[in-house]
Amino acid sequence: MTWTAVARKDFEDAIRSRWVAVLSALFVLLVSAAAYLVRPAPGETISSNQILNSLFVRDALVTTLVPLIALIVAYNAIVGERESGSLKLLLSLPHSRADVVFGKVIGRSGAIAAPIAVGFLLPALIFLVVPAVNFDVLSYLGYTLLTAVLAVCFVSIAVGFSTAAASSRRAIAGAIGIYFLFVPLWGAVRFPLQFYLGMGGGPSWLPLSGQQVLRMLTLINPTGSFKTVSNAFMQGALYTQGDVNMQVSATLMLVVWILVPPLLGLLWFQEADL
């Protein structure tokens, strides 16, 4: 038995969760509502790309709700089984601890990717039959995939934290802290800092310009890297036009967020006494 068996069982368990069902239904409803709210006026036309790039879809929905759903789905992945005693049973089978950690990441990622796919599928069916909407199928599918990648980043962060957390209470606190750090607080701090640095401010001892600091703040946050990549993709300029270095860096940061948290959690987990 390998990580695939762990991933399959974890996906089936997660998809049956009441929380997943409720949050998935909420996501589907909100995406459908966004498609309705951003509809074209009578006699006008609008592209599906404009709808996806609207502030409601990108900022109020994707980069706000998707991380929350991912953290709720994954925060209890390891520590919950440790507290229930099922983790010892799982490890008594021919699974390594790496199989468990990465199987959990893949299983929970599948559980969050499913409602994202459904959430974007329903509006797509409407766009296909509404003549006032110019539906770009490839861009729509690509944006859906990028949204799933953002969700996987937060699943990986939550699973990594769950692997190292001593209790479900600490895992919950960690998930809440991670969400508030990367979603509301990051923007609240970045806005005045952007104004300050944009005016030429910044400590003289810092070996970076104000613009470089702002670029780092954008890249470090998974939602910032997602916006960088998705905006370039929707404009048809990904890796070809604009700030290509920023786009490549943002892509690499998304990969880092997917791989590094589970690896760090695994380092602790390998030596943990269960």
Mean pLDDT, range 221-227, rounded to an integer: 94
Q: Considering only residues 56 and 172, tell me which one the structure prediction assigns the higher pLDDT.
A: 172
Asked if pLDDT for residue 242 goes beyond 80, the answer is: yes
**pLDDT for 93:** 78
Q: Considering only residues 25 and 220, tell me which one the structure prediction assigns the higher pLDDT.
A: 220
Q: Are 66 and 154 in contact (CB under 8 A)?
A: yes
Q: Are 66 and 150 in contact (CB under 8 A)?
A: yes
Mean pLDDT, range 88-97, rounded to an integer: 80
**pLDDT for 200:** 55
Residue range 115-170, pLDDT digits in tens: 888 888 877 877 777 777 788 888 889 999 999 999 999 999 999 999 988 888 88
Asked if pLDDT for residue 250 goes beyond 90, the answer is: yes
Angle (CA) 124 179 253, round 5°: 75
Q: Find the largest Cα–Cα distance for the chain.
A: 67
**pLDDT for 89:** 80
85: left (phi over 0), alpha (psi -120 to 50) or beta: left
Asked if pLDDT for residue 88 goes beyond 70, the answer is: yes
**pLDDT for 38:** 66
pLDDT band at 12, cuts 50/70/90? confident
Instruction: Round to whole Å and give the CA distance between 137 and 236.
Output: 13
**pLDDT for 197:** 64
**pLDDT for 132:** 72
- The residue extents of the domains of the chain are 2-271
Residue range 13-66, pLDDT digits in tens: 887 777 777 877 887 787 777 767 766 667 777 777 777 777 566 667 788 889
Mean pLDDT, range 173-178, rounded to an integer: 90
Secondary structure, 3-state, the chain: CCHHHHHHHHHHHHHCCHHHHHHHHHHHHHHHHHHHHCCCCCCCCEEHHHHHCCHHHHHHHHHHHHHHHHHHHHCCCCHHHHHHCHHHHHHHCCCCHHHHHHHHHHHHHHHHHHHHHHHHHHHHHHHHHCCCEECCHHHHHHHHHHHHHHHHHHHHHHHHHHHHCCCHHHHHHHHHHHHHHHHHHHHHHHHHHHHHHHCCCCCCCCCCCHHHHHHHHHHHCHHHHHHHHHHHHHCCCCCCCCCHHHHHHHHHHHHHHHHHHHHHHHHHHHHCCC
| Average model confidence (pLDDT) across the chain | 83
CA 88 to chain centre: 30
Burial 99-132 (b: 16+ CB within 10 A, else e): bbbbbbbbbbbbbbbbbbeebbeebbeebeebee
Lowest mean per-residue pLDDT among 37-46, 106-115, 185-194: 37-46
Which single residue is written with the structure tokens 């409803």?
A: 29
**pLDDT for 224:** 93
